[in-house]
Amino acid sequence: MVRLITHNLLACHAKGCNSNNFPLPFSNVQIEIREAEFNPEFLKAFLPKIEWKALVDTAKQLGDMSLPLEQPEMMDDDFLKSFHHVLLEIHVEEGVMTCPNCKHEYPISNGIPNMLLAEHEIG
């Protein structure tokens, strides 16, 4: 299930891993597309929380090119539809997220990512 909205909010949190720890690129993914409720107000309100480049790059990595490289000033319907689809309808069911900095691997199984740290990774 890891949706891109979630992925956009997750950073590596291993001890001492404070930079270059986001986003966590996917590998070996199994993807499913599932419809979600379209709520333009929610999307508009949530947009400021999104790291735009990370979202675009991740979508691209998963084969979706519908988002503009720059976050648009005007949010028309077409844009909101693509944004909605990328943010909420792409689900990564299986795969791994790997920290670009410390290389910690966060595995995903049956849609649930395991973000637990091992003992040497906590403070």
Partner 1 sequence: MSYGKYLIVFAQAHHEFRIPELHSVASLYGFDISLPKGEIETDRPYMVVGLADEKHARQLAKRCILIKAIYEFYAQGSTYEELHTRNRANQALWTRYKLDTSFKFFVTAFNHKIPQDRQRQVVESFSYMDFLGKIDMKKPDITLGCFEEYIEKRGLIRDRHDGDGQFQQAYFGRLIEEGSARVLVKMFDVKKRQYFGNTSMESEVSLLMANQTLASPGKLIYDPFLGTGSMAYPVAYFGAQVFGSDIDGRQMRGKGSTPGVFRAAAQYGVSARILDLLTFDVTHNPWRCGGLFDAIVTDPPYGVRAGAKRLGRKKELDPERQALYWEHRNNPRPDDQPYIPPTKPYELSNLAVDLVQLARYLLKPGGRLVFFLPTVTEEYEEIDVQSMLCEGMEVIANSLQDFGSWGRRLVTILKTTTDSYSPPTFDLNTLEDASSSQHVPAHRDFREKYFQGFKPPAI
Q: Could you list the residues that contact partner 1 (CB under 8 A)? A: 1-3, 5-6, 8-13, 22, 34-37, 39, 41-42, 45-46, 49, 51, 88, 104-120, 122-123
Cα 59 to chain center, whole Å? 8
Rounded Cα distance between 45 and 12, Å, is 25
Beta bridge partners of 31: 92
102 touches Zn ion (CB under 5 A): yes
Rounded Cα distance between 93 and 20, Å, is 25
Rounded Cα distance between 109 and 49, Å, is 26
* Nearer residue to partner 1 within complex by CB, 46 or 79: 46
Residue 31's binding partner out of partner 1, Zn ion, none, with CB under 5 to 8 Å set by partner kind: none
Question: Minimum CB separation from Zn ion for residue 63, in Å?
Answer: 26
Question: Minimum CB separation from partner 1 for residue 107, in Å?
Answer: 5
Residues 6 or more apart in contact with residue 35 via CB below 8 angstroms: 89
What does the binding site for Zn ion look like in residue numbers (CB under 5 A)? 12, 14, 17, 21, 99, 101-102, 104
